[in-house]
């Protein structure tokens, strides 16, 4: 199976930049989108349910903000779909879609950004706690877990171009990075780093100062899986050459248990 995760920074804008062509050429089994920035009524059916796929959309209440969507090939039928965490202050922003299949549970997540102020940073940290309380409970039941999306945290110095210059900014704060340490301690694996140890692999670039052309970026989009599932994972990739957003897609390929 092949799952791709992509923060599209506005699905309508991304469609105008070749999104549907990318989907048809790549043909993932599942495509997880973050920051869709659209209500269902604002989208035509060829975006909501692209050819060969059906879409599950969880939008924010606020128009033009946040939102996640999971596009699934029509031959795959999830056993269960859950929108959100059951907590209004997070669910109103459209941040989580959970789809359960026979051999794994997939979380498509747009983690909050904490740059606005201290209150928003705490919102972000609380969101991590609530999400992983749920995820850990499912893992304790023996389920395989895949958590993909925009985590809005660069884990270590290798994961951004200028670590020293950003150590006091949200996205690279010690208190945030400690959350990724905690996730790993709980038995989840950063699949990209498992296969790729080399630097200069980023998934997001500022639109300013030609950052993408210069590859001055951050790796903040991840696939984490429980370590028991890792033996089924065959490959991961960051598709830096795919344009259409300030993020690029990340890919996970695995054999179903």
> Which among 150, 159, 221, 246 is annotated as catalytic?
150
* Segments forming the whole domain that contains residue 102: 2-254
Q: How many structural domains compose the chain?
A: 1
CB atoms within 10 A of CB 243: 13
Count of residues for the chain?
A: 257
Of 91, 191, 181, the residue nearest 134 (C-alpha): 91
Contact 97, 3 (CB under 8 A): no
pTM above 0.95, yes or no: yes
The CATH code of the domain that includes 116 is 3.60.10.10
Beta strand spans in 64-206 (E)? 68-73, 80-83, 96-100, 105-110, 145-150, 188-190, 204-205
pLDDT, one tens digit for every residue, the chain (257 residues): 999 999 999 999 999 999 999 999 999 999 999 999 999 999 999 999 999 999 999 999 999 999 999 999 999 999 999 999 999 999 999 999 999 999 999 999 999 999 889 999 999 999 999 999 999 999 999 999 999 999 999 999 999 999 999 999 999 999 999 999 999 999 999 999 999 999 999 999 999 999 999 999 999 999 999 999 999 999 999 999 999 999 999 999 999 98
Is 181 one of the catalytic residues? no
Distances (CA, A) of 45 to 54, 105, 123, 156: 10, 26, 34, 41
């Amino acid at each position: 199976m092949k799952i791709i995760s992509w923060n599209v920074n506005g699905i309508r804008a991304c469609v105008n930049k070749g999104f549907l062509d990318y989907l048809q050429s790549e043909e993932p089994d599942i495509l997880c989108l973050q920051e869709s920035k659209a209500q269902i009524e604002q989208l035509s059916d060829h975006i909501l349910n692209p050819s060969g796929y059906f879409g599950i959309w969880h939008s924010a209440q606020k128009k033009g903000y946040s939102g996640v969507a999971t596009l699934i090939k029509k031959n795959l039928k999830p056993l269960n779909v859950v929108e959100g965490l059951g907590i209004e202050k997070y669910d109103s922003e459209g941040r989580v879609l959970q789809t359960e299949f026979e051999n794994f549970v997939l979380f498509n997540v747009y983690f909050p950004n904490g740059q606005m102020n201290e209150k928003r940073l705490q919102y972000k940290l609380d969101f991590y706690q609530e999400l992983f309380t749920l995820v850990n409970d499912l893992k304790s039941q023996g389920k395989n877990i895949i958590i993909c999306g925009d985590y809005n945290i660069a884990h270590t110095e290798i994961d951004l171009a200028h670590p020293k210059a950003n150590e006091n900014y949200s996205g690279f704060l010690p208190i945030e990075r400690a959350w990724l340490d905690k996730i790993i301690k709980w038995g989840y694996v950063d699949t990209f780093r498992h296969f790729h140890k080399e630097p200069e692999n980023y998934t997001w670039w500022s639109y300013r100062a030609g950052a993408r052309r210069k590859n001055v970026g951050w790796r903040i989009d991840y696939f984490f899986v429980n370590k028991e599932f890792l033996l089924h994972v065959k490959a991961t990739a960051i598709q830096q050459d795919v344009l259409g957003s300030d993020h690029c897609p990340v890919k996970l390929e695995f054999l179903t248990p």
